Structure 1
Amino acid sequence: MNTEEIQQQKEQVQQIWKKRPLIISGPCSAESEEQIMETAIGLAKTGKVDVMRSGIWKPRTRPGSFEGIGVKGLPWLQAAKKATGMLMAVEVATPKQVENALEFGIDILWIGGRTTVNPFSVQDIADALRGVEVPVLIKNPLNPDLELWTGAVERIDRAGIKDIGLIHRGFAVYGNTEYRNPPMWHLAIEMKMRYPELPFIADPSHICGNREGLLGVAQRAIDLDYDGLIIESHCTPDVAWSDAKQQVTPAQLEDILNHIVWRKEDKENIDHAALEKFRQQINNLDDELVELLSQRMQVADNIGRYKKDNEITILQTNRWNEILEKAIAKGEKKGLSREFVTKYFDAIHMESIAHQNRIMNE
């Protein structure tokens, strides 16, 4: 490309990168030139997809599985971009893959969950990206470790990449669950709060592992103010070479996107008086909660002094179990989940133990 074409490409990438919601879709794996082109044309016809994704290299858990078509699939994406005008995105796991992707004009790169778990691999990719202008999306690591995810962001940032985004693809846990990779929304929300300036995109396909749950997870993500979605789409998903159960046709994708209620963090030209009234009620209740918790800890201090004077241990397991079960029962009657009450009272208990421990060791 000449200088003018390169500049136009950069402007197009920046325009799409800033779009909200950002919709990314495409097959789990590139399988053939025909499959890529048919899927690309189908996605373009929806008028809703900004970026086409496709796996060229597929890091798999065990050997013997389909591990991607390799470099020969990159020209297929070039042709699909030329035919549809959509940007193209691929996953990279090694410096050589970064080099190959950039050589074929791939617009956006992403680092997968299997790579994010390894700081050495992320650093190798970061080194390969020095001096390059390309947006990089970083998926959460397979295991629920926000420090690994944060570390990957820091490594890519230090390589000089200006456009970094996050993909929430769920976390791997042992045993059967409702999801292929449980979302663990609380962890994703914490990461979103750490980096509020970075685009935050949900990956319902890898969270669900099936088509049936895609809409529900996508809606939950939008309700939590995610900036976009990445959903796998294939022209004939039932015969896909990888992850067939979680892929949908372009038409099915369009139907999912049409059924999502696209909420925003805030809207202009509406009366916020009612909302502000509720928020003030929340503020008042929060103030009361903090005051009550302070009073509770003062009582815990007194208990700590009594235990110290009478040589009684801090931890009283049976007593705490009774308190917790009563709180859970009462909370459930009031519409509070068992999980919430348990976490809330566990936090109070640990703070109480810390207060008593400090008294013990004065």
Structure 2
Amino acid sequence: MKIDLNIQPLESWIQTGKEPLLIAGPCSAETEDQLVATAHLLAKTGKVTALRAGIWKPRTRPGEFEGIGSIGLKWLNRAKEETGLPTTVEVATAKHVEEALAAGVDILWVGARSTANPFTVQEIADALKGVDIPVMVKNPVNPDLTLWIGALERINNAGITKLAAIHRGFSSYEKSAFRNEPMWDLAINLKTHAPGLPIICDPSHISGNRDLIPYISQKALDMDMQGLMIESHIDPSVAWTDAKQQVTPAALAELIANLTLRKPETRNAEINDKLADLRNNIDKIDDLVIQKMAERMQIVEQIGTYKRDNNITILQVNRWDEILHKRTSYAKALKLSTEFTEKLLELIHSESIRKQTEIMNKSQVVATEKLTHA
């Protein structure tokens, strides 16, 4: 399902000549010297498109550093005047919007915590009515595509046509190497729903660790995202917030230089013909997979009917464990990842349970109707 967003191309509101598009700067504006010095070093790399800095920092617990506040806008303005870099800040209230606009901030972004609250997003959207400024919307903290889309729609409905999404990963109870799970499939789904919407990746918040930023950055570009937002501090070791995920301007320049830029398409006829042949083969296999899946579900329905007629429970744990063990072993021998195989089997199993439950419920409905009419 496509969503109807009235948006302008990215190149109409931000300089896209540098590759990749790069928004960089400290997690938090801490002091005027820290921010301006960092900005000069970033500008000197020749790779940065816009300067970012946290002015108001929504923290999980009170008592933590919650941003320097409005005074930081003046520091940003000085950094902009001295380096020529356009500026961007996070806004979480109507007052933030008003102060940022008055200070001449060039781009605004809505943070993950704000995106998760439609009331907050609507307050920001109302404050933006009648204003022509680019706005970027981060994904919500939890993996909820509808919330993300809803926030983008609210901002767009306020008349903001210079619009982009920021993929910063999602919270998860499962422990992993990442601060926030990338869950690339949700970003892909957003791109499918809104093909013209630019998506920028925030490797810093996905990684939570500077060592992982190059990997996430390359992955994002390979997924055809339009740019990167990376936190950079003149001395990350003394940063007041998120020290582990910030890099120095020099390290950032090296990181960007080592990225491989790939194009989403090519005009080379020979390459396109080869891709078309390979995709045609995939289409044939996909059709066969769906056909076989339909045949499998027909057998599932027969099993459901048999279980119903013989008063056998739908779920049989031993049988499911047997399937999981045998299929994952077989898949592993065929060079398929265990994670992929388990997810696929769980999806198939869930649909099988649903179909069998439907058959059981039909028998109960019929019995109830007979009692009703008796």
Q: Which residue does the alignment assign to 2:306? A: 306
Q: Which residue does the alignment assign to 2:293? A: 293
Give per-residue Cα distances to partners, 1:273-293, cap 9 Å, x unaligned: 222221111111111111111
- Displacement, 1:234? 1.4
- Is 2:10–2:162's contact at 8 Å kept on the other side of the alignment? no
| d(CA) in 1 for partners of 2:258, 2:92 | 34
| d(CA) in 1 for partners of 2:288, 2:175 | 41
| d(CA) in 2 for partners of 1:65, 1:17 | 35
- Displacement, 1:12? 11
| d(CA) in 2 for partners of 1:338, 1:273 | 33
- Is 2:204–2:231's contact at 8 Å kept on the other side of the alignment? yes
Q: Which residue does the alignment assign to 2:165? A: 166
- Displacement, 1:32? 2.1
Q: Which residue does the alignment assign to 1:198? A: 197
| d(CA) in 2 for partners of 1:13, 1:131 | 22
Q: Which residue does the alignment assign to 2:118? A: 119
Q: Which residue does the alignment assign to 1:143? A: 142
Which stretch has the larger CA shift, 339-348 or 173-182? 173-182
| d(CA) in 2 for partners of 1:232, 1:202 | 12
Q: Which residue does the alignment assign to 1:315? A: 315
How does the TM-score come out when normalised to structure 1?
0.91
- Displacement, 1:18? 5.9
Which stretch has the larger CA shift, 253-262 or 302-311? 302-311
RMSD of aligned C-alpha atoms? 2.1
Q: Which residue does the alignment assign to 2:368? A: none
| d(CA) in 1 for partners of 2:49, 2:327 | 49
| d(CA) in 1 for partners of 2:312, 2:354 | 15
Structure 1: stretches of 5+ with no match in the other structure? 1-9
SS in structure 2 at match of 1:231 = strand
Residues 267/15 of structure 1: CA separation in 2 closer, same or farther (3 Å cut): farther
- Displacement, 1:85? 1.8
- Displacement, 1:60? 0.9
Which stretch has the larger CA shift, 49-58 or 16-25? 16-25
Question: What amino acid does structure 2 have at the position aligned with 1:256?
Answer: L
- Displacement, 1:270? 5.4
| d(CA) in 2 for partners of 1:144, 1:74 | 32
Which stretch has the larger CA shift, 83-92 or 315-324? 315-324
- Is 1:13–1:87's contact at 8 Å kept on the other side of the alignment? no
- Displacement, 1:255? 0.4
- Is 2:16–2:49's contact at 8 Å kept on the other side of the alignment? no
Which stretch has the larger CA shift, 348-357 or 246-255? 348-357
How does the TM-score come out when normalised to structure 2?
0.88
Residues 27/329 of structure 1: CA separation in 2 closer, same or farther (3 Å cut): same
Residues 344/115 of structure 1: CA separation in 2 closer, same or farther (3 Å cut): same
Q: Which residue does the alignment assign to 2:71? A: 72
For residues 240-255 of structure 1, the aligned pairs below 5 Å read 240-255=239-254
Q: Which residue does the alignment assign to 1:261? A: 260
- Displacement, 1:175? 6.4
Sequence identity of aligned pairs in percent? 53
